[in-house]
Structure 1
Amino acid sequence: MPRTSTSLIATGALTGLLAIGALATSAAGPAPEAGSEQDRSAQLAARIDPAEPKSVILLIGDGMDDSMITAARDYARGADGRFALDSLPFTGAMTTHGLKVGPGPDYPIAYVSDSAPTASGWSTGRKTVDGRLSQGPSTAATIPGEDYRTVLEQFQEAGKLTGDITTSEITDATPAAAAAHINARACKGPTDMASCLPAKKSNGGKGSIAEQLVDHEVDVLLGGGMSSYTQPTDAGGGETVLSYAQREHGYRVLQDERDLASVTSLEDGPVLGLFAPVNLTPMNDPLVATPPPGAGGATTECTPADRGDQPDLSTMTQKAIELLDNPEGFFLQAESAMIDKQEHATDICGAIGDLVELDEAVQVALDYQAEHPDTLIIVTGDHAHSTQIVGGSGDGKLTATLRTADGDPLTVAYSTSDTGSDHTGAQIRVAASGPQAANVTGVIDQTDLYATMLGRTPSTLPGPGQPQPLAPQAAVASAPTVSRGVLRRAGLPVSVAAAGATKVTVQLLNKGRVLASRKVGREGGDVRLRTRRTVTGQLVVKVVATGPGGSDVATRRVRITR
């Protein structure tokens, strides 16, 4: 998978920007070049914001640990490449253990957990047992525990809008934990309640997961899982959960990407997007690992899947943010679920494709944060998985090999069982940007995210002598020439690096006229500037970086050719 011309320009641009050195990257991004004496302490200090976040965007890669991130990065960007999720300034490690059922009050530790207790951990700030959603432990799996209030519910109580989106069934464990309380994750619809009899509405309970999600009136629900919503409720009369959601709560039902694009506000009621009977299609066709000599090889690359009219995660994230954006703030949880599910299937291409798509969603969130710095972004997983990068195709029970962006072979192995793969108990990455993001540093437990998302009591930064905000710095790179035809068709590739900025704007000018204007993230990025206007003479690419310490302008002249 060769690098694009834009990426090559970016590489050249950053190489030439040693004047701002590590300030062109985040604390979590690429390390300074060997021999560099640039210290990043002031940069980190400038990014610390103890204020309570107004909005929270929580992005979850199900089963996404550092090994899976590295494999996806190596394949899609190369060993020295970086994802958007690598650019968040504060990074830590997060433990994910849960509990086991028992007599209590001290429940045994479960060192390896599934997605139900892990998602419940950050949603409620408390531990629970496998299979259980935002409900405390108990003596047996079929005996309900105490309902715990979730972050999403508390944002609603504060009068804020909420969203919950996923690439799995919306009734699956991770999205369900945000707004449902039930003793078994399998109780997705009214006809799935054999393990959750006390929760049935006919028994005086809150109902199945599908019913609870709409009863909570989450403003934006997007994902798969239509099959749970076409089940009849236990109220009789043949009404389905879907028709109940429309009649009782005014949900507008969306079934494909065109429906999603057509919704422009929440004025006409909440939206329920159900884009597949069960899970959405992974981004890539599968490459399933096999016993040595393994699947794939030194020239194997992943093939994009035919996903029909299903929206991808970044599209759903963009639309959800658009609908939820308001002066009072919002909470949005967005999950890339198929990373985990394809890891279970030892499908490396499926897992890579959906991790890369998660990164696209992270960039969408960062673009929003650049205009709304009171937004906290957190990117993490729910638990680790057994995907491992190994030295060769014989180093595991099941292996697969791909050609990376570097042009070299990468082999991954799955060795937890003879077929398929499973979770592990390793700590995982957590990264954050925005108000109170510094609370994710060090080694934390996933339950600690609960208090951070709700907003911890703001602390006071050191007094006199504390580092002052850095004056913003900007730099820009592009090709020295561009033809009129390319400018009209594809646009001029431009790479921007910035530091100390909260807003970065890129403009293309000709004789004082603004031909095109784009906004990029606070640390820059790659864009294409295109115009259909008639241009003569020279073009000027102008970057303006504005932040707490002032503003900076960088320009680049580009000659027009025939």
Structure 2
Amino acid sequence: MNTRSSPAKLFLAIAIICSSIQLGMADNATHETSAKNVILLIGDGMGFPQLTLARIDKAGGNVTQYGSVELFMDGMEQTGMVKTSSANSLVTDSAPASSAMATGEKTNNGVISQNSAAIQGKRDGENLTTILEMAEDSGLSTGLITTTRITHATPAAFYAHVDNRDNESEIADQLLASGVEVILGGGLQYFTGENDTDPLGNYGKRGDERDLLNEFESQGYALVYNGSSFQKVDSNTTERLLGLFDSSHMQYDLERLSGVERDPSLAEMTRKAISILSRNPKGFFLMVEGGRIDHAGHERNISKNIADTLAFDEAVKVATDFASLKNETLVIVTADHECGGLVLQPENLDVYEAGGINPLFASGTTKTQGPRYDFITEMEEATHTAVDVPIMASGPGAEKVSKGVIDNTRIFEIMKEAFGF
């Protein structure tokens, strides 16, 4: 035995072992930050005040109980704040806000997933690739859920490319071509010819005679139009599902709960979608929108706003419960913008302790000059605002949302990085 070579061999062995450990650590790091599935939940119009008001309602307005009350999204691993401006406005609408999350680029108000060269209704821009399209191209399954029309701005941003969010017939055409496996929401009127009635008995609004429902069915989609039919869908055998439950937007949750033939809840739709999409061994991308939080804000309707925020939170619970089974699903909860300028002022303006709160939607008002400012309501509907909105996340890559304030375009990058695209 040549003893002179032993130290060299020993050092070489140690180097190989250290290298192996480092590679193993790198592999583990990659595993910890990569996701098989991504679920993005968007509370349209849901700012920090809307979350606070939902907690207060959940506590029954009791200040003693309020301290221990939590929404399901409050228990997520990471939290942060998101800037929401569009390419041409500090106050965004849902089209560019959702397009920023879907594509990672800013665009102008009214534009769906085209770059900032596009001007609403006047000029097309370059089509931007969305996270959903990347998922489809990679062999993942995809799903879209909303309580608005499925052709409305927020869901449309993930599959369509138009210079005007109001072109909902064209948006519906692009949905048919998108390959999305699970589609749930409202909007039957844009899938039915203008001289025909949809399955709920209302005339279509397409502007042509095209029957998209028949075309979806010919592509292998199971079609459902009410809650009872939805409940009968077998997740173990259904490959593609199109559920459109209203001619326009779905009902507010308060209306849904009082109906005889109930639409499925946002949580029920989320559960069904996950059970279908999760059968794909490669993974899935799912976007879930609580869209009518925004509409209740525009209407200045406190009770509807609270109920739809809590219904959205129930959908968050479904997503996080699924994600907790394995550490392979990134769940992100955020908003596209705040709507209404919700103010949680005291019920008694002179003595705070004398009562609870008197919430009001203050946007859409104007201040008038004088010795002191007076405010007058200028608009019947409340407006969007420019304030930052919350973001919460759990799962692989969740820590990336907690970097102080992030731009909404960063949400796309976080999802893209999680998938490894």
TM-score range, shorter chain: 0.7 to 0.9
- Given that 2:111 and 2:119 are in contact with CA atoms closer than 8 Å, whether structure 1 keeps it comes out as no
Preserved CA contact (<8 Å) 2:192 2:205:
no
Pick closer, same or farther for the CA change 1:238–1:280 going to 2, 3 Å: closer
Tell me the distance in 2 between the aligned counterparts of 1:128 and 1:425.
Answer: 16
* 1:180 is the counterpart of 2:160: yes
The whole-number CA distance in structure 2 between the counterparts of 1:457 and 1:409 is 46
C-alpha offsets along residues 67-121 of structure 1, whole Å, 9 cap, x if unaligned?
Answer: 1100111111352210110001100011010112xxxxxxxxx100000000000
Match of 1:550 in 2: none
- 2:369: which partner in 1? none
Determine the structure 1 residue equivalent to 2:373. Answer: none
Q: Structure 2: how far apart are the matches of 1:372 and 1:456?
A: 15
Counterpart AA for 2:192: T
Q: Which SS does the other structure have where 1:98 is aligned? A: coil
Q: 1:456 to 1:331 in 2, by over 3 A?
A: closer
> Could you give the per-residue CA deviations for residues 476-505 of structure 1, whole angstroms, max 9, x where no partner exists?
xxxxxxxxxxxxxxxxxxxxxxxxxxxxxx
> What is the aligned partner in structure 2 of residue 258 from structure 1?
228
1:322 to 275, 283, 286: 275
Indicate the structure with greater helix content.
2
Identical columns (%):
34
Matches within 5 A, 1:104-503: 110-138=89-117, 140-141=119-120, 142-189=122-169, 208-231=170-193, 238-247=209-218, 249-265=219-235, 267=237, 269-284=239-254, 305-306=258-259, 308-326=261-279, 327-385=281-339, 386-392=341-347, 409-417=356-364, 418=377, 419-441=380-402, 442-455=404-417
| Residues 283, 350 of structure 1: 8 Å contact kept | yes
Deviation at 1:409, TM superposition (A): 3.1
Q: Is 1:64 aligned with 2:26?
A: no
Shift in alpha-carbon separation, 1:243–1:456, aligned structure 2, 3 A: closer
1:86 aligns with 74
Matches of 2:180 and 2:135, distance apart in 1 = 11
Quickly say closer, same or farther: Cα 1:348–1:437, change in 2 above 3 A: same
* Residue identity opposite 1:79 in structure 2: Y
Q: Per-residue deviation at 1:393? A: 7.0
Give the whole-Å Cα distance in 2 for the aligned partners of 1:93 and 1:235. Answer: 39
The answer for the alignment partner of 1:3 in structure 2 is: none
Give the C-alpha shift of residue 432 in structure 1. 0.2
Higher relative contact order (CA 8 A, sep 6+): 2
Residues 1:145 and 1:377: Cα distance change in structure 2 (over 3 Å): same
> How far did 1:51 drift?
2.1
CA–CA separation in structure 1 for the residues paired with 2:145 and 2:102: 15
1:25-104 equivalences in 2 (<5 Å): 50-77=32-59, 79-80=66-67, 81-100=69-88
Q: 1 CA distance for matches of 2:118 and 2:83? A: 24
Gap change, CA 1:457 and 1:161, over 3 Å in 2 = closer
Partner of 2:11: none
The within-5 A match list for 1:508-519 is none
CA distance in 1, matches of 2:291, 2:208: 35
- Structure 2: give runs of 5+ residues left out of the alignment: 1-28, 60-64, 195-203, 365-376
How far off is 1:57 after superposition? 0.7
Residues paired across the two proteins, number: 356
Q: Structure 1 residues 145 and 264, CA, compared in 2 at 3 Å: closer, same or farther?
A: same
Per-residue deviation at 1:278?
0.7
Q: Deviations over 1:278-302 (max 9, x none)?
A: 11111125xxxxxxxxxxxxxxxxx
Which one has the bigger strand percentage? 1
Q: 1:172 to 1:307 in 2, by over 3 A?
A: farther
RMSD: 2.6
Shift of residue 269, structure 1, vs aligned partner = 4.2
Give the corresponding residue for 1:42: none
TM superposition shift of 1:268: 5.1
Give the conservation status (yes or no) of the 8 Å contact 2:228–2:261.
no
The CA distance in 2 between the partners of 1:173 and 1:304, in whole Å, is: 26
Deviation for aligned residue 1:451: 1.4
Q: 1:236 and 1:383 mapped to 2: Cα distance?
A: 31
Contact 1:49 1:434 in 2 (8 A): no
TM-score (norm 2): 0.79
Once residues 305 and 346 of structure 1 are traced to their aligned partners in structure 2, the CA distance between those partners, rounded to angstroms, is 21
